[in-house]
Amino acid sequence: MLKAAQPNQPDALTWVFLGLGFLLLPIGLYLALSAPPDVNQGYLVRIMYLHVPGAWLGYLAFFVTFLYSLLYLFRQDPRYDRVASASAEIGLVFMGLALVTGMLWARPTWGVYWTWEPRLTTTAILFAVYVGYFLLRGAIEDPELRRKAAAAVGILGFINVPISYMSVKWWRSLHQTQSIDLTTGKIHMDPAMLQALLFNLFVFTLLYLGFVRFRSLLAAMEARKEEA
């Protein structure tokens, strides 16, 4: 993502992403708050406009980490590692947002903040994997070994995502859970709600792209300072 070897300030594209993201954020918020209430859940459903983009970006960010970890292992270029770790960091923030909003949503709808439902469990595991990613980065002093080890976790950790989703299906076939499936609700959605959701997804993605580029730049500057 960062092509310049010695960048000193964010490039134009980073500013475009961040600027557009923050500019459109209030509009997304307005759309979310003015969207029609849900038949069953009423105004409660508006948590979705924060919850779904958070989860989506968590997955996207971890995918980017996976991709750049692979690139790093094959090319051994520290720039790829910086993007991977920046993406993991931001992914962790978004994933945390999804978990927190999910819990706030679960309390009034399911009656509890947390239940060991497959999707919740797999998300929590995913969160723990990337917390481990940063624990590892913090624990290794040798920069090259740190990058390699982090890349390994970034790759192996991501493998968890698709498999965990298959486990959801297998679990379902065994045990019937009464909890609401958050993904199937999307299909029977009012067009106005869908529009608001898609718009918010778009805005959050812009912000993510801006954040990653910005964080990678910071990491590059840190690395240069460390060397100097």
Partner 1 sequence: MKRVFLLALRDLRLEVRDRAGLLSVLAFFAVMLFIMALALGPEEAALRRAAPGVLWVALAFGSTLLSTRAFALEVEEGTLDDLLLTPGGKEWIYFGKLLFQMLLLLPLALLSLFMAAGLFYLPLERLLSLFLTLALGVLGYASVATFYAGLLARLRGREVLLPLLLFSLVVPVVLSAVRATLGLVEGLPLGEVAPWWQLLLVFDVVYLTASALLFPLVMEG
Residues of the shown chain interacting with partner 1 in the complex, contacts defined by CB under 8 A:
73-74, 76, 121-122, 125, 128-129, 131-132, 135-136, 139-140, 144-145, 148-149, 151-153, 155-157, 159-160, 163-164, 166-167, 170, 173-174
Helix pair angle (143-174, 48-75), 10° resolution = 130
- By beta-carbon proximity to partner 1, the closer residue of 23 and 145 is 145
127 vs 202, beta carbon nearer partner 1: 127
Type of residue found at 69: S
Q: Which is nearer to partner 1, 166 or 187 (CB)?
A: 166
Distance of alpha carbon 175 from alpha carbon 73, whole angstroms: 41
| CA gap 195, 31 in Å, rounded | 9
**Start-to-end CA span in the chain (Å):** 24
Q: For the CB of residue 80, give the shortest distance to partner 1 in the complex, in Å.
A: 13
**Considering the complex, what minimum distance in angstroms separates the CB of residue 140 from partner 1?**
6
Distances in whole angstroms, Cα of residue 46 to Cα of each of 54, 105, 113, 213: 13, 9, 17, 30
Among residues 150 and 220, whose Cβ is nearest to partner 1? 150
Provide the minimum distance between the beta carbon of 170 and partner 1 in the complex, in angstroms, as a whole number: 5
Minimum CB separation from partner 1 for residue 122, in Å?
8
Q: Which two tokens stand for residue 174?
A: 């065994």
DSSP string for 55-124: HHHHHHHHHHHHHHHHHHHHH--HHHHHHHHHHHHHHHHHHHHHHHHHHHHHHHHHSSS----HHHHHHH
Q: Residue 94 CB, nearest distance to partner 1 (Å)?
A: 18
Q: How far is the CB of 135 from partner 1 (least distance, A)?
A: 6
Closest to partner 1 by CB, 73 or 104: 73
Pick 13 or 135: Cβ nearer partner 1? 135
